[in-house]
Amino acid sequence: MLYAGIDEAGYGPMFGPLCAGVSVFEFDHSDKQSLPCLWNELERMVTRTKRDARGRVVIDDSKKLKGAGKVRHPLTHLERGVLLFAAIACGDADWLEHLDDTSLLSTLGIEDLQAVWYDSTTPLPLGQDVRMLRIDRGRLERACHAAEVRCVHLGAAAIPAAEFNQRVGAAGSKAIVNFELMVHLAETCWKRAAMKPLTIAVDRHGGRTRYLNDLHTAWPEAERQILEESDDLSRYRLSMPGRSPMEISFSSEADSKHLPVALASMTAKYVRELMMVRLNRFFAGLMPELKPTAGYVEDGRRFLADIESLIEQADLNLDELIRSC
């Protein structure tokens, strides 16, 4: 069966895209009564802690993995996990050679974001050594093989500010746009599943416990069944002719319960950070003394004030640069 996780990054900032990631693992479910804990299954090479004497790959909530950057690059742990699983999922033995963010985004399924501040390319990796990544990829592949677990897909999606503003205006809520982004990635998983059973884990959206109506809107032709709706977990089964059944669950802190969600979180965060590298590079080219921004509201206001003189000089459209909400 297929076991997938979906998570987003960048829901609240002023600058930069809203991103979401998805990871999909395949394993034999015939002798399992419930979903396996992939942290346990892959413990030979995967851990939750950044301090690990065995050199394992850290997979955890992305918010816990971005560092301060005093000793290592702040994206070191995010980057290692995402690049290693992307290398395995794409199946190309030479994928890590001559890598940059453009080829990574293409592998993840993201098309070029149409904005001048994203029109550049960043060589990768940022905080890793390619030779060590090649070694780690082999170690991770052997651990997956021993556990009879396969990472079959790692993907992402990104909505830049201009599209985000348009979609929020049409939908009337950024929460709806965020849910639609999750549905888009879930649909790609369901199509890829063919006739294999599929389970998708997702973090709760806005703390809600009921999603049946939203799932009807997303898949109006599917039969829907409530498996559980409680304070801890909302779980549903969807069935559609020509497809295997899909179970989708919503729970709080899903990235601490499901490794595929944690990896999806890391992927979404890494993609967003790479987009912010591009954005900051563009404006630094116009104002070399400009302090970079992560795009979140408090510092975003500072950044906007700093680039105010550039906006008119460069004839930039604020509706394409800044989120409306």
| Alpha-carbon gap, residue 133 to 91, rounded angstroms | 15
Question: Greatest CA span in the chain, whole angstroms?
Answer: 65
Taking only the tens place, the pLDDT of each residue in 199-255 is 999 999 887 899 999 999 999 999 999 999 999 999 999 999 999 999 999 999 999
The pLDDT, as a whole number, for residue 53 is: 73
**Residues 39, 235 contacting (CB under 8 angstroms):** no
Domain boundaries, the chain: 2-277
Tokens describing residue 320 = 């394409």
| Alpha-carbon gap, residue 162 to 228, rounded angstroms | 38
| CATH number of the 2-277 domain | 3.30.420.10
| Residue with more model confidence, 79 or 30 | 79
Sign of the four-CA dihedral 262, 264, 267, 268: negative
What DSSP string runs through 139-180? HHHHHHHHHTEEEEEEEEEEE-HHHHHHHHHHHS-HHHHHHH
**Residues 59, 266 contacting (CB under 8 angstroms):** yes
The pLDDT, as a whole number, for residue 50 is: 86
Taking only the tens place, the pLDDT of each residue in 257-266 is 999 999 999 9
Taking only the tens place, the pLDDT of each residue in 56-88 is 999 999 989 987 666 688 999 999 999 999 999
* Nearest partner of 18 among 206, 167, 154, judged by Cα: 167
The pLDDT, as a whole number, for residue 33 is: 65
